[in-house]
Amino acid sequence: MDLLQAIVAHYNHWIIIFLMVSGLYIVVARGNMIKKLVGLGLFQTSVYLLYLSPGKILGGTPPIISEQHTVYSNPLPHVLILTAIVVGVATLALGLALVVRINEAFGTIEEDEIFAGEEDE
């Protein structure tokens, strides 16, 4: 029974950690730069969940004030994460532009091939 309670209470945290760790793994282990950016995105979205899930109050409603409701979820993480999403897409665009430029200069977007090409010169 204790175990079941622990699972219900922390399931969101464990999924967040799984997403975060797999994002980290992609960024470190894969040489392809677009794949690296996807991994960075995974990491980023896991952080969104990390902020949003403690702000949820069971039985609460979205933080839009009205007369029928008295319990609202915490609005502050929502504000932070809205900003983070928009900045995230800006950095993603910048990263992809860099990848396109690298592809033009080196003819490849694989890290290993770029290093190999530099050693030959």
Partner 1 sequence: MVLLTLLAAITVGIVRMRNLFAVVVLGGIYSFLMASVMIVLDAVDVAMTEASVGAGISTVLMLAALHLTKTEEAVPTHTPLLPLFVAVATGIVLVFGTFALPSFGVAETPMNMHVAPYYLQNSIPDTSVPNVVTSVLSSYRGFDTLGETTVIFTAGIAVLMLLKGKRELKPGPKRRRIRR
Touching partner 1, residues 21-80 (CB under 8 A): 21-22, 24-26, 28-32, 34-35, 37-38, 41-42, 45, 48-49, 52-58, 60-66, 71-79
Kindly tell me which residue out of 4, 90, 118, 120 binds partner 1, with binding defined by CB under 8 A.
90
Q: Which is nearer to partner 1, 85 or 117 (CB)?
A: 85
**DSSP assigned state of 110:** B
CB 26 within 8 A of CB 53: no
Does position 98 interact with partner 1 (CB under 8 A)? The reply is yes
Does position 1 interact with partner 1 (CB under 8 A)? The reply is no
| Closest separation in Å from C-beta 121 to partner 1 | 20
Report d(CA 25, CA 46) in Å as an integer. 14
Residue 71's closest CA among 82, 58, 80, 87?
58
Q: Which is nearer to partner 1, 87 or 117 (CB)?
A: 87
Q: Which distant-in-sequence residues (6+ apart) come within 8 Å of 20 by Cβ?
A: 42, 43, 46, 47, 50
